[in-house]
Amino acid sequence: MRVVGVIPGGGNGERMAPLPSSKELLPLGFRATPRGPRPKVIANYLIDALREAGVDQVYWLIDRSKTDILQYFGSGAEVGVQLAYVPTEASPSIVHTLDNARGFLGDAQVLFGFPDIVFEPVHALRALRQRLSQGRADVVLAALPAPPEQIADRVVVDATGRALSVLVKPVDGSGSDAWVLAAWAPSFTAFLERWLLARASLASATLQAASPEPYLGHVLQAAIVAGLSIEVETFQLGSFIDVGTSEGFASAVRRYGEVGLAPDALSTRAAPPAEHPTRSSHSEGRSSSR
């Protein structure tokens, strides 16, 4: 089956505005090149992970105003993937953005990540792809530890690695890990379309505006309720930093900002296979200093 990467890029970086460029292009550490170390931008980290997972075609769902991203990355030849840019046309949410791109995604397995989240281990997406290819799940999520005060979607998992519920940015995040990456089959792309249509129909029937901005976590929770199979790959020693805030960006600069500390952008290590067919605790990640 065709496998593609998807990068959502419709946001305008309001949490750190004003910025001199799209936030995805802010320098964060360095990458190895034949000419020696060169600055590495935020989006490089997700692109590196997609390439390491074996993806060679990536759709960047991009706001029409972000022409600097297209100018910087171009065709993707320098970063080792084929990049295609899909304008988002001022989409009201990431869910709508994904649905608008379903013509490109419909028959493909999708590897998904957020360009403003830097995560470890770098092979996490490859592990999700391997697990999805086993054919048991409609969606496989990557769960990483996060402190209770971290604003993030949480996932509650049973002993077999199946998601019991997805909590969208709960006030109290204690007792559950955050999901930050996903891999899904065409069945979930189709479900997302049906969910949005049902949401719009309900709003029309009740003569009310649709509920507040939908997040992907809302669709994941609805998919669980509808009986889709959502599995979770847990990386107990993994970590992530939301670099879309000033605090997170400062933390990431302290961690990755020196020459030689960032993972090599040109030669990432091959990922080991998942340690368990349903749930595993990978040891490649480091504990985070968020």
Q: Do the beta carbons of residue 1 and residue 108 sit within 8 Å?
A: yes
Measured in Å, how far apart are the chain's first and last C-alpha atoms?
37
Q: How many CB atoms lie within 10 A of CB 172?
A: 10
96-102 CB contacts, 8 Å cutoff, 24+ apart:
96/196, 96/214, 97/8, 97/10, 97/61, 98/6, 98/8, 98/61, 98/189, 98/192, 98/216, 99/192, 99/193, 99/196, 100/61, 101/6, 101/59, 101/61, 102/189, 102/192, 102/193
CA distance 11 to 93: 9
Q: Which of 278, 194, 169 is nearest to 229 (CA)?
A: 278
CA distance 7 to 62: 8
Q: Do the beta carbons of residue 125 and residue 111 sit within 8 Å?
A: yes
- Domain at 3-256: CATH code: 3.90.550.10
Contacts of 7 (CB under 8 A, 6+ apart): 43, 46, 47, 58, 59, 60, 61, 113, 115
Contacts of 111 (CB under 8 A, 6+ apart): 3, 4, 5, 6, 50, 53, 55, 125, 128, 129, 181, 182, 183
CA distance 146 to 246: 18
Q: Digits of tens for pLDDT over the chain (290 positions)? A: 899 999 998 666 678 888 899 999 999 999 888 888 999 999 999 999 999 999 999 999 998 889 999 999 999 999 999 999 998 877 789 999 999 999 999 899 999 999 999 999 999 999 999 999 999 999 999 999 999 989 999 999 999 999 999 999 998 888 899 999 999 999 999 999 999 999 988 877 776 666 678 999 999 999 999 999 999 999 999 999 999 999 999 999 999 988 765 444 333 333 333 333 333 334 333 333 33
Q: Where are the domains of the chain?
A: 3-256
